[in-house]
Amino acid sequence: MASITINGTAHTIDVDPNMPLLWALRDVLGLTGTKFGCGLALCGACTVLMGGFPIRACQTPVAAVEGQSITTIEGAEGPAADAVRDAWVSLDVPQCGYCQSGQVLAAVSLLESNPAPSDADIDAALAGNICRCATYHRIRAAVHDAADRLAG
């Protein structure tokens, strides 16, 4: 049995402690916004936030997050999350959308720690999130737009 907090709600789940968090989220808790991509923590599709920082759920065992606070795309909230979602829609960022939950969460984490990121800051923060559709220019523009929205 593992006790984890997902999107502000405490859960006790009966899983192997070595089960990747990704599968606990998707298969046990029904939170399917976090996607399986490569299974090797290389693509970022499975990005969630632990304590506000991006982690790869496909390679993070449930035992490593016990007692931690995890945020998935379904639970992202607050000014940075709202600004990112609004910018993503305004700039029509997604093409296929598969990588976007990871991209959005990485952007939210960046803006919560750096409300005025440079292009280099954005590139560094989102470097581990691969977009097969190559919408990187729209993603970067949307992060800048979200930063502007947060600044008022």
The domain boundary residue, chosen from 52, 75, 98:
75
Does one domain contain both 101 and 69?
A: no
The domain boundary residue, chosen from 29, 46, 75:
75
- Mean pLDDT of the residues in the chain: 97
Give me the percent of the chain exceeding a pLDDT of 70. Answer: 100
Does one domain contain both 100 and 127?
A: yes
> What pLDDT is attached to residue 12?
96
Q: Is the dihedral of CA 108, 25, 22, 11 positive or negative?
A: positive
Query: Residue 9's pLDDT band (boundaries 50, 70, 90)?
Result: very high
Give the integer Cα–Cα distance in Å for 123 and 29: 32
- Give the gyration radius of the chain's Cα atoms: 15
Does one domain contain both 51 and 85?
A: no
Residue range 41-70: mean pLDDT, rounded: 97
> What pLDDT is attached to residue 44?
97
Do residues 110 and 117 lie in contact, with contact meaning Cβ atoms separated by under 8 Å? yes
Full domain range(s) for residue 140: 79-151
Do residues 62 and 24 lie in contact, with contact meaning Cβ atoms separated by under 8 Å? yes
The domain boundary residue, chosen from 60, 75, 90:
75
Burial class (CB in 10 A: 0-12, 13-18, 19+), 51: exposed
> What pLDDT is attached to residue 67?
92
Single pTM value for the model: 0.96
Does one domain contain both 26 and 63?
A: yes
Does one domain contain both 71 and 83?
A: no
List the CATH number of the domain containing 23. Answer: 3.10.20.30
Q: How many separate domains does the chain show?
A: 2
pLDDT tens for 114-137 read 999 999 999 999 999 999 999 999
Do residues 22 and 46 lie in contact, with contact meaning Cβ atoms separated by under 8 Å? yes
List the CATH number of the domain containing 103. Answer: 1.10.150.120
